[in-house]
Structure 1
Amino acid sequence: MSTGLRIALIASARFPVREPFAGGLEAHIWALARTLTARGHRVGLFAAPGSDPTLDLHELPVHRPKLSAAARADVSMPDPEWMAEHHAYLRLMLDLSENGRRRFDVVHNNSLHYLPIAMASALPLPVVTTLHTPPTAWLESAIQTRRDCPVTFTAVSAHTARAWRPTVPAARVVRNGVDMRTWSQGPGGTYLVWSGRLVPEKGPHLAAEAARKARIPLRLAGPVGDPRYFTEYVEPLLGDGVDYVGHLDRRSLADLVGAARAALVTPCWDEPYGLVVAEALACGTPVGGFDRGALREILTPECGRLAPPGDAAALADLIPEIARLDRRAARDRAERFCSLQVMANQYSALYEELTT
């Protein structure tokens, strides 16, 4: 396999790609950029201001357009944050359409914005877009702007690929990977762990309810993405063994997960992938979760158990069984199925295919 491709990696303009990560998407892009660079590729990362300066960072121009008072007062004026993000991607895609061929061999879009897809035909180089979410109206519209969309699509799970199939019939599945060195096998312990963004769709309150019913301590870790939800649903469950330990960097979070008896994953939506599942398995920590989205793809009976969606009591009943699962089996599953090297191999092969 040849090396030295010039890759434009497009991230979200909403959150910086740096530790502690705002979510799984930022963690994924950071790891992908570093791994591809280590393999000899030249990776230019287009990301929000404040992203990791050790990467070849090109800050997305998220400056607000200078709108007249009349434009701002017009009934068509969208939310200012939406307008700023739109302006950033519009400027980026116009720039790549003008000089992208001189600078890059391939563009890999990991943003959730419609413009990198809608304007892909203006770029004189191949474009890959990874589908990280369930279908959205904006992206479906962008894909349908041309009868033959020039974008090569990947999806982070078979579940996500199936969800997009009416619009994207042939998305390749490339699952997000985790760094097996950072997420090393831990010793296990006496408490349960839940990690991720504390927002309603991730259901941390249900993890707290399950832990309380099972009478096993629980540690919650991650950024508070929805303060009102946290105050109304999570805070009342804190105490008596349920603790919120804050927003941790990767190393601290890996230590926390590796020292846990089991990890709880409680999606209240159809989880497109579930990076926290892969991270737990890499630490040798078995997983108990709700049977939604792609969790069934990642977990096997050797490393996890699934309860009916939203059923905290059923999840609690499974916890003793989950805690007895073999930690080495969990680690083995991560190494074979969702390691960073497996993911990088697949993306590198795709880039080569599109540029030769």
Structure 2
Amino acid sequence: MKNVPSRSPYICVLPRLSESGGGPASFFARFQAGLQRRGIPVTHEPRDPAVTAILIIGGTTQLWDVWRARQRGVRVVQRLNGMNWMHRKRRTPWGAYLRAERSNWLLSWIRRNLADHIIYQSEFARGWWQTVYGKVRARGSVVYNGVDLREFSPIGGNTRPSSHYRLLLVEGRIGAGNVEGLSNAVALAQEMDRLTPRGVRLQVVGEVDALTREQFERQSGGILDWAGQAARGQIPAMDRSAHLLFSADLNAACPNAVVEALACGLPVAAFATGALPELIEGDCGRVTPYGSNYWNLEKPDVPTLARAAMEILADQPRFRAEARRRAEGLFDVEHMLDAYLRVLAPER
């Protein structure tokens, strides 16, 4: 990359994402809002000659434009979470299989050939990419996702039910091809329900197709509450109204649902896969061994996690205080922005 004179940062973000979705869209909305608070302009046009750095959230098809920008001295930074892998472990339509493989190839190609710096969402994500696709010349760093600790806070409306314990599951979309997380959540809720006379209900937040809902209604024993898809602004109140969050993703890089829950003082229970052992430490929650080969989508050890979850329910004040403390120390959106700007605009 050519050396260019120092100038005020002007960040191009690719691809352009809707601010209303989850996952990468949630990150983009928070990132853009943070830059606006700091007076740093954002564009989605890499050909703009004023651009000083490009942040690629995962991948982009505008490879030629990014390459040309890099030739004129623009710094290229890629943000990476995990990669597609479940399509190789279950029956997947050929079209979906090829799209997943194409996405992995594109992310890997940008990582190896275009990026000046890689920001991984966790140490787990960095190790995964290096194991599968090898090390690259680009420097790398780990920056966890962050949230506005004033918006996601234990302080606010919604009280927890006193007639039962509420176990919360927050997902963007759950369909016929992605039911492992919901299946594990139902099994956990059923096991917990057997361990306490107060009873446990599982509240599912996210889009669930009718066929999947009907299937799990039949096998859940009547302990499911369907909350539907929630807007981002509704999540803090939902987190505050629960006793415990179950993080269902297997091998997640840095799930937003976990970060948001901890910020709201909601403890998290999960199996020890992906980045979750990094994120959930001390008494902000509990992670327990999966108990089998999760890379092959085998059945987990639910009873061990259920007993750990009951420990959280038995001492809510301690675990809720530690959850908030963990978020304050690790998941402040302002600290996240500082870390990104140190990479995107190192001359500032």
Q: TM-score range by the shorter chain?
A: 0.7 to 0.9
Residues 111 and 118 in structure 2, CA contact (< 8 A), matched pair in contact too: no
Residue 240 (structure 2) aligned to one of 255, 258, 274: 258
Task: Say if 1:6 and 1:240 are closer, same or farther in 2 by CA, change over 3 A.
Answer: same
Deviation at 1:30, TM superposition (A): 0.7
Q: d(CA) in 2 for partners of 1:246 and 1:298?
A: 27
Deviation at 1:273, TM superposition (A): 1.3
Question: SS of the residue aligned with 2:54?
Answer: strand
Deviation at 1:17, TM superposition (A): 2.2
Q: Which residue of 2 aligns with 1:174?
A: 143
Task: Say if 1:147 and 1:275 are closer, same or farther in 2 by CA, change over 3 A.
Answer: closer
TM-score between the two structures when normalised by the length of structure 2: 0.75
Q: Which residue of 2 aligns with 1:101?
A: 49
Q: Which residue of 2 aligns with 1:272?
A: 253
Q: Which has the higher contact order (CA 8 A, sep 6+)?
A: 2
Q: d(CA) in 1 for partners of 2:251 and 2:81?
A: 12
Q: d(CA) in 1 for partners of 2:113 and 2:173?
A: 39
Q: Which residue of 2 aligns with 1:192?
A: 167
Q: Which residue of 1 aligns with 2:119?
A: 154
2:67 aligned partner, one-letter code: S
Residue 219 (structure 1) aligned to one of 203, 221, 226: 203
Residues 9 and 40 in structure 2, CA contact (< 8 A), matched pair in contact too: yes
Residue 302 (str. 1) matches residue 283 (str. 2): yes
Runs (4+) off by over 6 Å:
none
1:29 aligned partner, one-letter code: F
Q: d(CA) in 1 for partners of 2:37 and 2:217?
A: 42
Q: d(CA) in 1 for partners of 2:277 and 2:127?
A: 14
Q: Which residue of 1 aligns with 2:129?
A: 164
- Could you list the runs of 5+ residues in structure 2 that have no partner in the other structure? 1-5, 85-99, 194-199, 291-299
Q: Which residue of 2 aligns with 1:6?
A: 10
Q: Which residue of 2 aligns with 1:289?
A: 270
Deviation at 1:285, TM superposition (A): 0.7
Q: After the TM superposition, which residues 1-356 of structure 1 pair with which residues of structure 2 at under 5 Å, given as runs?
A: 5-11=9-15, 16-18=18-20, 21=21, 23-44=22-43, 46=44, 96=46, 99-102=47-50, 104-113=51-60, 115-116=61-62, 120-123=66-69, 124=72, 125-134=74-83, 138=102, 139-140=104-105, 143-144=108-109, 149-165=114-130, 166-169=133-136, 170-185=139-154, 189=161, 190-199=165-174, 200=178, 203-215=181-193, 216-224=200-208, 227=209, 230-231=212-213, 233-237=215-219, 240-267=222-249, 269-309=250-290, 310-323=300-313, 324=315, 325-353=318-346
Number of matched pairs: 293
* Partner deviation per Cα, 1:311-330 (whole Å, 9 max, x = no partner): 33332222211222421111
Q: d(CA) in 2 for partners of 1:327 and 1:192?
A: 14
Question: SS of the residue aligned with 1:218?
Answer: strand
Q: d(CA) in 2 for partners of 1:144 and 1:24?
A: 22
Question: SS of the residue aligned with 1:178?
Answer: coil
1:285 aligned partner, one-letter code: L
- Could you list the runs of 5+ residues in structure 1 that have no partner in the other structure? 47-94
Residues 285 and 319 in structure 2, CA contact (< 8 A), matched pair in contact too: no
2:248 aligned partner, one-letter code: T
Identity over the aligned pairs, expressed in percent?
Answer: 23
* Partner deviation per Cα, 1:60-116 (whole Å, 9 max, x = no partner): xxxxxxxxxxxxxxxxxxxxxxxxxxxxxxxxxxx63xx3323x2111111434x35
1:132 aligned partner, one-letter code: N
TM-score between the two structures when normalised by the length of structure 1: 0.73
1:167 aligned partner, one-letter code: G
Residues 185 and 283 in structure 1, CA contact (< 8 A), matched pair in contact too: yes
For the aligned residue pairs, the C-alpha RMSD in angstroms reads 2.8
Q: Which residue of 1 aligns with 2:294?
A: none
